[in-house]
Structure 1
Amino acid sequence: MKIKRSYILILIVVLVLVLAVRYFTSPKVKSLQVKETKIENRVVNKTVSASGAIKSKSTVNLSFPSTQVISQITVKEGEKVTQGQILAYLESSIQYQSTQAVRDARDIVLRKRDLFVSDRETNEKTLGGSDQYEIRLRQYNEEVSQAEASYQAELARFQNYYITAPFTGTVVDITKEVGETAATGEAIIKMSNLEDLYFEINVDQEDYGSLKIGQSTEISLDAYGNRKFQGTVSELSLYAGDIGDFTVKIEFEESGEFLPSLGLTGDAKIVVDTTSQEVPSLYYDEVFYDEEDRPFVWVVRNGYLSKYPVEIGLEGDIYTEIKSSPEFPIVIGLNQDIELAEGYKAAIVPN
């Protein structure tokens, strides 16, 4: 009897184990909580975004073409200047004296010729006639031309000792002080035209292919928080930069309330495609794709989750255009960590 009891106990244990294995390994219908989402009419936009900064169409770093001590800086940062205005001098007393001497020599030759011309009648008699007079006048004119050429050459050398404004604008930076030595080609003064600013970004080759002149742009500047500014694409570079990106210039739209400042940074969002008007749409993450990249949405059909193929239009940044509407409730999971699958029971939770 004891042996039979042992066999019975062993049989019971084996039976329990078999039932447990079958329970945990047999397919079961799971139940998930989901929430319903609705197709709504909205404008769908696809954009290209990039960071950038405000720049001026006319910006230049000014330097001296020779090395010397700075004698005078006649402007301050933020000061408006006019084209041709002298902005800074180098120590140039020796060069000034040399230029002055050459100018005096030119003026002497000019006065001799003018006196000769003013007393033509007397000079013709003295020289023996008009032909001899014309020969001597040509000699004077040649001397004047040579003296003028010498003076212009000396003046050009003297001009190396000062900086002038190449256009009307504003001094935005001064890197040296009076008494310091300015090296040849070293930037001393930076000036820009602050009335002709634009926003510049760089985009990669993939995004560059969808850009066109005139596309609408929304600009967010770091200094202005959530405030948005409107602009349009005004220029696209014709070649890639050193790292393979392309430069894009964006003009600000006229606004009496906004005065852009040089150097402000921010982000630009260029609308590269749009539905223009409101169309049926879902949020981009409410549309899914199968292994063959065919779009579908999750629906609840007779209490169970099911994939429902849909036809889509423009895939925007936030919304995706839906061209076919299922007759069943469209749902999404309450928990993004749980992957939905066909055959699950679905409990729609009220929004």
Structure 2
Amino acid sequence: MMKMIKNKYFIIGAIVVLLLLVISISMCGKKNGNETKTAKAHKGLMVVTITSNGTIRSNNEANLAAAGSGKVEKIFVDENQAVDKGQVLLELSSYGQAEKDYKRLAALGEKGYVTSQQVELAKEQWENTFIKAPFYGTIAKKFVESGEMLISGTPAFLLADLNDMIVETNIDETDIGNVKVGQAAEVSLDAYKNVKLTGRVLFISRSSLEVKEKGITYQVKVKFYPVSGVTLRLGMTCDVNVKVAEKNDVLMIPYTAIGEEEGRNYVFTVEKNMLKKKFIVTGLENYDNTEILSGLNENETVIENNTSKLKDGQKVKIK
């Protein structure tokens, strides 16, 4: 009697295990079925862009510093004030005496009592006591106040031409070879979500910038066209998309459909519910698709993912 009960429990347990196994296989099949995707090789326009982060700057800006050191006596401008080329922005406390010395020696020089070198030295010492604007622009930043000590070479102002704005961005060395002056670019501003600026590549640096976290990059400047009602400010952040290639009537498939074997690219096509492995030659590629130069025809169906797990001749069921 005890033996029959044990056999009964054994049979029930085996049935339960079998049911769980069937359910598990069924669920795995559904899961794999949901993950498997197909796509058709199709022709269309392919646009290849390089994307990077950028910053709004002026194409003509400079930190202005006095050549001499001393106490700041007078400041004639405020931030956001427009200034003309040659306008005096700041004077040091030694300005007055240096000016007198220069004028006195200049007068003596006209009479031949001092050399021209002495006059030039006095003029240089006088010019070291004030700061002039080297070009028309706006005082974007003021770094000193009256009464403070200013050390020679220390910036006192940031002067920028706000009528000549650009985007500065750093492009990775793996992409910089595809970037050319004159290429079209699109700028998306973080401050204006619905605004896109269009422009062109203005400048590509020949010298690299080494950033430890990001590797080697090169500075690129993009000149864009202004948009009415959009106030741009120095330092605004943005995304830059540089169009490096554009080609029409391109045969393409999703890049996820492509596998690699010993340096050769391949895809799996579906023919009469059976997989066929085909080696292909690729061309342009962007964030979504890859150009097919040979090995595949238009409207052929390819498996879009999990190519490394598939086999040539494997049967599939495409819904």
- TM-score, normalisation: structure 1: 0.69
Counterpart of 1:234?
202
Counterpart of 1:299?
269
Report how far residue 152 of structure 1 moved: 5.1
Alignment partners' CA distance in 1, 2:183 and 2:109: 64
Alignment partners' CA distance in 2, 1:108 and 1:236: 52
After superposition, the Cα gap between the structure-2 partners of 1:311 and 1:99, relative to the gap in structure 1 and judged at 3 Å, is: closer
Counterpart of 1:289?
259
After superposition, the Cα gap between the structure-2 partners of 1:60 and 1:106, relative to the gap in structure 1 and judged at 3 Å, is: closer
Aligned-pair identity in percent equals 27
Counterpart of 2:11?
none
Counterpart of 2:96?
96
Structure 2: segments with no counterpart, 5+ residues: 1-28
Higher mean C-alpha displacement, 36-45 vs 210-219 = 36-45
Alignment partners' CA distance in 1, 2:258 and 2:242: 26
Report how far residue 322 of structure 1 moved: 3.4
Counterpart of 2:151?
183
Structure 1: segments with no counterpart, 5+ residues: 1-29, 111-140
The answer to whether the aligner puts 1:159 opposite 2:102 as a matched pair is no
8 Å Cα contact 1:44/1:318 also seen in 2: no
Q: For 1:195-274, what aligned pairs fall within 5 Å after superposition?
A: 195-225=163-193, 227-242=195-210, 244-253=216-225, 255-256=227-228, 258=230, 260-274=232-246
Alignment partners' CA distance in 2, 1:252 and 1:49: 16
| Counterpart code for 1:193 | D
Counterpart of 1:319?
289
8 Å Cα contact 1:274/1:314 also seen in 2: no
Report how far residue 236 of structure 1 moved: 1.7
- TM-score, normalisation: structure 2: 0.75
Counterpart of 1:39?
41
Counterpart of 2:251?
280
The answer to whether the aligner puts 1:49 opposite 2:30 as a matched pair is no
Q: What SS class does the counterpart of residue 347 from structure 1 fall into?
A: coil
8 Å Cα contact 2:59/2:166 also seen in 1: yes
Report how far residue 77 of structure 1 moved: 0.8
Q: Deviations over 1:272-329 (max 9, x none)?
A: 2221x243322221x3124134333333333233324445442233222235326754
8 Å Cα contact 1:105/1:147 also seen in 2: no
8 Å Cα contact 1:51/1:268 also seen in 2: yes
Counterpart of 1:120?
none
Counterpart of 2:80?
78
After superposition, the Cα gap between the structure-2 partners of 1:264 and 1:291, relative to the gap in structure 1 and judged at 3 Å, is: same
Report how far residue 221 of structure 1 moved: 2.2
Alignment partners' CA distance in 2, 1:327 and 1:40: 6
Q: Deviations over 1:35-59 (max 9, x none)?
A: 4423333211223222221222222
8 Å Cα contact 2:258/2:307 also seen in 1: no
After superposition, the Cα gap between the structure-2 partners of 1:78 and 1:49, relative to the gap in structure 1 and judged at 3 Å, is: same
**TM-align CA RMSD:** 3.5
Alignment partners' CA distance in 2, 1:247 and 1:176: 30
Q: What SS class does the counterpart of residue 84 from structure 1 fall into?
A: coil
8 Å Cα contact 1:102/1:150 also seen in 2: no
The answer to whether the aligner puts 1:194 opposite 2:162 as a matched pair is yes
Report how far residue 81 of structure 1 moved: 0.4
Counterpart of 1:119?
none
Alignment partners' CA distance in 2, 1:66 and 1:101: 16
8 Å Cα contact 1:201/1:248 also seen in 2: yes
Q: Which of the residues 172, 184, 187 maps onto 2:140?
A: 172
Report how far residue 190 of structure 1 moved: 1.1
Moved >6 Å (runs of 4+): none
| Counterpart code for 1:307 | K
Q: Which of the residues 282, 292, 302 maps onto 1:330?
A: 302
Q: Which of the residues 58, 63, 82 maps onto 2:65?
A: 63
Which structure is larger by alpha-carbon Rg, 1 or 2?
1
Alignment partners' CA distance in 1, 2:292 and 2:307: 25
